Amino acid sequence: MEKLASQTLNTSQDRALGALRQVAIIVSATLFIALCAHVTIPLLPLTPVPLTMQNLGVLLVGLLLGSRRGFAVLTLYLMEGMAGLPVFNPIGPGGVAQLFGITGGFLLAYPFVAFVAGYVFERGPKSFVRAAIAGVLAETVLFLGGLSWLYIFTHSFKAAYLFLPAEAIKVLFAAGIAIRWRRTAH
């Protein structure tokens, strides 16, 4: 009887430690994305949307943590921003104003971007090509959400071309990092 109680206690402790580990991973990932958001290059007067490393962080979170945890990370990230924590790029007003401002479409798309990147990468061989395809599909979601929202404010898509070279580089970096990370982790 003592052995059974001890096994049950150990199992409960293992589950609690596992849950605590997942929470730590998710919170740490939001911190990583917030740090990436602060690496910003303003592109005014060409476009009101700055070029940030935030998208690279979102792609990495999706590729490395998977679809469900990636979605959870970015949902928590948006909630942190709405609460007024300084997690968004420093050029904008911050808080809810930034979430529903000119860059809001990009921000609101982030949970779906991470989900798509993770979902595509989870289903199949973990290769550079698969990671790059997952990144391109995820960036497509980002651009659909972000540029649609931006069009409402500016009535123009002309600034979209400014981001394409940088986003292509970010996709390739994210794919390379994800593959390298998976190889060293396993």
More confident residue, 160 or 69: 69
How many domains, the chain? 1
Best mean pLDDT range from 4-18, 21-35, 93-107 = 21-35
Question: What is the predicted pLDDT for the residue at 176?
Answer: 97
Residue 74 amino acid letter: L
Is residue 144 over pLDDT 90?
Answer: yes
| Residues 88, 68: Cα–Cα separation, whole Å | 22
Is residue 55 helix, strand or coil? helix
Instruction: State the average pLDDT over residues 11-19.
Output: 88
Is residue 1 over pLDDT 60?
Answer: no
Radius of gyration of the chain (CA): 19
| Residues 32, 57: Cα–Cα separation, whole Å | 7
Is residue 147 over pLDDT 80?
Answer: yes
Is residue 5 over pLDDT 80?
Answer: no
pLDDT in tens, 98-129: 999 999 999 999 999 999 999 999 998 999 99
Range of 39's domain? 2-185
Structure tokens that stand for 5 in this block: 């109680």
Instruction: State the average pLDDT over residues 68-86.
Output: 97
Question: What is the predicted pLDDT for the residue at 8?
Answer: 59
CATH of the domain at 53: 1.10.1760.20
| Residues 29, 44: Cα–Cα separation, whole Å | 29
Report the candidate in 155, 71, 49 with the shortest Cα–Cα distance to residue 119.
Answer: 71
Instruction: State the average pLDDT over residues 79-104.
Output: 93
CB hemisphere CA count around 174 (13 angstroms): 33
The length of the chain is 186
Is residue 23 over pLDDT 80?
Answer: yes
Residue 7's pLDDT band, with cuts at 50, 70 and 90, is low
Chain center to CA of 63: 9
Residue 40, strand partner residues: 52
More confident residue, 145 or 49: 145
